[in-house]
Every structure is written in structure tokens, then in C-alpha cells.
């Protein structure tokens, strides 16, 4: 789960990090009221969407007075902001963040994430932070350093020193930076985050260290431990079909192709997508129905796949381990009747009770095309949608 910049900053502040003062706003009027209260010489107005690259797309503005601020707020609210992270359709701006401006002397990059390969927490830092960090990563990776640390409740001073080394700060700023790193680490551990990214972390002309931008992603598998974080979820930022899928405990990711996939197991789902591509077509989705798919679950999965108007055919690929193929076949038949499927349906069943399953499909009276193996299934569905 991702949250907005303003929420991430409030959370980091709670754990002791330094962030600029600011207020989230949902209307132009609210922006003006809050600006009058803040009473500043200049204002920073930032579009709040779950995507980076806003600066380059015109989603971050510095305004000299209330007249310009009002204009900028009117312009941004309701706008579809297209950044290099949103995809071509962009994301509609529904909230803004009004902030006091900072005097930037230098921009750094700092992030903290789980390094699965080493089972450690990795801090990534660079003195070339800001809006071109992707370019730096590509062209001059030596400017980016990674420090891996062992899981524990606190981060050691010696690790903090290694992380800030390439920032080349004076003693005063160095200490401030180490304190921020400790706050970030505490936030990371306490909230079961999977990523905290501060880009830029800045050195101000007043020699302070401030988190000027913040992105936090949480581990969905641990979110049940943090009901207060769940309240920060913004459903506007999520795909409606993915929200529906999560209600039924289905792992569904919408993609751009024409072949809908219903598979049990993430690995098998990946393999199914690969083999569709191998045969020259594109999958419309990733969908893992999980180990114990009931009729209700299969039915919900059908409805979700069919709500995608690009879908021209569905490939069901099930390996019956704990799940019995005959039970699943019964679920497919009932769900297919209920949802009145009128596009080609290719089914490949293997494993426990697969023969019984095939028999149920064959005798169902539905136009279901049976496949003997994964390659055969891919060939058949590709032929059908062509």
C-alpha cells in the first residue's frame, strides 16, 4: 500500500524527522484559507498523486503571492497530471499540499528498503539527488552507494556514518542528517514499510537537513497490524478492479493484452503469461485465485476479468494440489453460467482429480475448450482470439 507525500511527511515527523510545515487541501478555497493562516512570503504547492516525477510535469509550483497561488490551485485541482511514472493516461489531482518554501543549498537522495537477496535493510544514498536521480543511476552508478544493515530495533551510529559519508557535510549538518536517518529507520521498522524514499533530502542555506519529498510503501501482508495506517489508504489512487479483487482475496493486476488469465499460484500465473507471449499474444491480467478457490471466488474472478473490455478470451490454468480439479471445474461451470460468458474459454486442468474435472467441463453443455498441457492451452486460446 502506498500513501501520499503529505501523509508520509506527517508520519516521518512523528518519528522525529524534519519536514517543512504544510497543510493538505482539497479545494481552492481551502488552499487560500490555509495560506492566509500560514502567512508566508512564498508558497509551495504540490499535486498529491501516488506517482513521482511531478516536478518535471508541472505538479510542483513555487508561488510569490496569494493571487498566483489561487491560479495555481485552480489549474492543478482536477488536472490529469502525466509524469514518467503515471503512464500515458496520467492521474487526476484530487488533493494538494501547501507547504512553506525551503532554501535549497544541495539536494541528496536517500532511500531505505528491504533487500530480499541478503535479508537485510538497504540504505541507498547519493549526493546527486533531485529530479534526475534516474539519469544518475543509469549514467554514473558510482555516485550511488548502498549500505546494508542487519535487522534490529535500532540503527548503529557507525552504519549511519557510512550512509551519510558521500554527502560531505560539516559536523553540525552531519549530526542532523544522522538523526534523520535514525527517524527514517524507526519509521521503517515500526510501520512494516517496504520502502521509504526521500528525494530530495536537502541541505538548506541555514545548514539544516530537511525531507523535501517523501514516499512510503507498506508491506500489504503486515498492514493488518496497523489499522491506523489503513486509514491513510486513498482508493482514488487504485485501480477499481484491483480494489474489487482485493475484497475477494484475489491477487489481480490489470495489464494491456487481450487474453484474460485465471490461474492458481503466482508462479504458474507468471508462467501462463510468459507462454501467452511466447505464442504471440499479450495477457490482459495477472490473476492468482489462490489455493482454495471456491465457486464464489471463481465467479468473482470471472466478473473481474470480464469487466476489462479488451478481453477477447480467457485461459484457465489450474494445477490441483490441495485444490481438487473436480471441485474447481464445478465452480467454473456454475460461474460461467452465472456470468453468461460469451467469449472463448480454454481450460487446462492438471493434478488431483483432473480427469473428473475434465468430465464435468465436457458434460456441462458450455463451449469450453479443453487443453492437454500448458503449451496446448496457449496455442488454443491464441487461435481463438485471433
Closest approach of ligand GDP to the CB of residue 47, in Å: 8
| DSSP designation for 287 | E
101's contact among ligand GDP, Mn ion, none, with CB below 5 to 8 A by partner kind, is ligand GDP
The answer to whether 52 contacts ligand GDP (rule: CB under 6 A) is yes
Among 127, 159, 213, 326, binds ligand GDP (CB under 6 A): 213
- Within the chain, residue ranges assigned H as helices are 5-14, 28-38, 66-76, 133-139, 157-164, 171-190, 227-230, 240-247, 266-278, 295-306, 325-338, 354-362, 374-385
The answer to whether 8 contacts ligand GDP (rule: CB under 6 A) is no
| DSSP designation for 2 | B
| DSSP designation for 307 | T
Site string (94-133) toward ligand GDP, x via CB under 6 A: -------xx-x--x----------------------xx--
The answer to whether 55 contacts ligand GDP (rule: CB under 6 A) is yes
3-state secondary structure 239-276: CHHHHHHHHCCCEEEECCCCEEEEECCHHHHHHHHHHH
Closest approach of Mn ion to the CB of residue 145, in Å: 19
Q: Which of 43, 97, 109, 185 is catalytic?
A: 109
Closest approach of ligand GDP to the CB of residue 44, in Å: 4
Does 43 participate in catalysis according to the annotation?
no
Closest approach of Mn ion to the CB of residue 209, in Å: 16
The answer to whether 199 contacts Mn ion (rule: CB under 5 A) is yes
3-state helix, strand, coil in the chain (%, to 5): 40, 25, 35
- Signed CA dihedral, 36, 39, 42, 44: sign only: negative
Q: Choose between 106 and 348: whose C-beta lies nearer to ligand GDP.
A: 106
Does 97 participate in catalysis according to the annotation?
no
Cell output for 148? 546494508
**Residue 220, C-beta contacts closer than 8 angstroms, at least 6 positions apart:** 1
Question: What residues line the site for Mn ion (CB under 5 A)?
Answer: 199, 213
Catalytic residues: 109, 197
Binding site for ligand GDP (CB under 6 A): 44, 46, 52-55, 60, 62, 101-102, 104, 107, 130-131, 199-200, 212-213
Amino acid at each position: 500500500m502506498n500513501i501520499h507525500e503529505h501523509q508520509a511527511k506527517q508520519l516521518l515527523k512523528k518519528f522525529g524527522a524534519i519536514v517543512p510545515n504544510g497543510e493538505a487541501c482539497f479545494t481552492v478555497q481551502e488552499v487560500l484559507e490555509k495560506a492566509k493562516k500560514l502567512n508566508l512570503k512564498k508558497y509551495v504547492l504540490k499535486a498529491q498523486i501516488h506517482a513521482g516525477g511531478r516536478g518535471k510535469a508541472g505538479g510542483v509550483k513555487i508561488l510569490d503571492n496569494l493571487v498566483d497561488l489561487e491560479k495555481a490551485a485552480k489549474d492543478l485541482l482536477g488536472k490529469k497530471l502525466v509524469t514518467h511514472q503515471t503512464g500515458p493516461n496520467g492521474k487526476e489531482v484530487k488533493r494538494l499540499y501547501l507547504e512553506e518554501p525551503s532554501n535549497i543549498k544541495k539536494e541528496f537522495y536517500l532511500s531505505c528498503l528491504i533487500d530480499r537477496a541478503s535479508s537485510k535493510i538497504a540504505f541507498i544514498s547519493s549526493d546527486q539527488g533531485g529530479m534526475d536521480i534516474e539519469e544518475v543511476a543509469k549514467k554514473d552508478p558510482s555516485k550511488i552507494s548502498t549500505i546494508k544493515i542487519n535487522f534490529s530495533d535500532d540503527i548503529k551510529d557507525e552504519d549511519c556514518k557510512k550512509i551519510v559519508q558521500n554527502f560531505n557535510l560539516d559536523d553540525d549538518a552531519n549530526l542532523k542528517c544522522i538523526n534523520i536517518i535514525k527517524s527514517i529507520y524507526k519509521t521503517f521498522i515500526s510501520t512494516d514499510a517496504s520502502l521509504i524514499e526521500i528525494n530530495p533530502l536537502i541541505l538548506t542555506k541555514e545548514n539544516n537537513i530537511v525531507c523535501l519529498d517523501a514516499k512510503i510503501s507498506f508491506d500489504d501482508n503486515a498492514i493488518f497490524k496497523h489499522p491506523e495506517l489503513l486509514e491513510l489508504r486513498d482508493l482514488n489512487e487504485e485501480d477499481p478492479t484491483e480494489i474489487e479483487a482485493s475484497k475477494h482475496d484475489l491477487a489481480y493486476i490489470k495489464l494491456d493484452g487481450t487474453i484474460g488469465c485465471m490461474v492458481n499460484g503466482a508462479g504458474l500465473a507468471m508462467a501462463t503469461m510468459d507462454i501467452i507471449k511466447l505464442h504471440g499474444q499479450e495477457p490482459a491480467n495477472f490473476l492468482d485465485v489462490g489455493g482454495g478457490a471456491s465457486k464464489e471466488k471463481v465467479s468473482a474472478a470471472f466478473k473481474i476479468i470480464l469487466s476489462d473490455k479488451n478481453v477477447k478470451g480467457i485461459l484457465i490454468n489450474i494445477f490441483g494440489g490441495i485444490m481438487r480439479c473436480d471441485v474447481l471445474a464445478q465452480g467454473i461451470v456454475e460461474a460461467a453460467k452465472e456470468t453468461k460468458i460469451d467469449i472463448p474459454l480454454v481450460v487446462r486442468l492438471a493434478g488431483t482429480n483432473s480427469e473428473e474435472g475434465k468430465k464435468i467441463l465436457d458434460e456441462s453443455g458450455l463451449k469450453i475448450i479443453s487443453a492437454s498441457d500448458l503449451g496446448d492451452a496457449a496455442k488454443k486460446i491464441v487461435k481463438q482470439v485471433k
